[in-house]
Amino acid sequence: MTVNLIKLCVGVSDVTQLIQEHERLVRQALKRKTKKPVEDHHWTRMRPKRDEEVLDGGSLFWVIRGIIRVRHRILRLDDVTDADGQQYCAIIYDPKVILVDPRPRRAFQGWRYLEADDSPPDLPNQRQAFANVAAEVDMPADMLAELRTLGLF
């Protein structure tokens, strides 16, 4: 049974900023011309105890400004050690950003499990969804919230 992880995307103000960061990562990887697949990671102190379920097709969902907006497919969980000898778990994920149906989510610390049945579905037309995300940047927050309430955005 698949289980996902959910985490606050601290320091990121909108989806566009997250997308730009991942595009930068891909460009850097392509410049190196290595045969390794492009991957991104997030280090966390606690390793998921349900790692087999997470690795069975799980994703890392990101909460941006109180709303679940995107996910990344988790590739693996690596045990890593920093320069000071502190142990961490590196969540290695595909840098491809997948936009999901926006869902509000309260703030929390660390990561949490997100059951597959409770996870927001992917938006059906990713190309149109990315165009909408680009338009959000120029739109006032109150107008955007009202358009979402009306189901127009």
Query: Across 10-153, where does the E strand assignment appear?
Result: 40-44, 59-64, 67-81, 87-93, 98-104, 111-115
What Rg, from alpha-carbon coordinates, does the chain have?
Answer: 16
| Per-residue pLDDT at 16 exceeds 90 | no
pLDDT at residue 27, as a whole number? 79
Q: Tokens representing 73?
A: 């497919």
pLDDT tens per residue across span 56-80: 999 999 998 888 999 999 999 999 9
For residue 9, what are its two tokens? 């995307």
Span between the terminal Cα atoms of the chain, in Å: 33
The answer to whether the CB of 22 falls within 8 A of the CB of 97 is yes
| Residue-averaged pLDDT of the chain | 85
pLDDT in tens, 45-62: 999 999 999 999 999 999
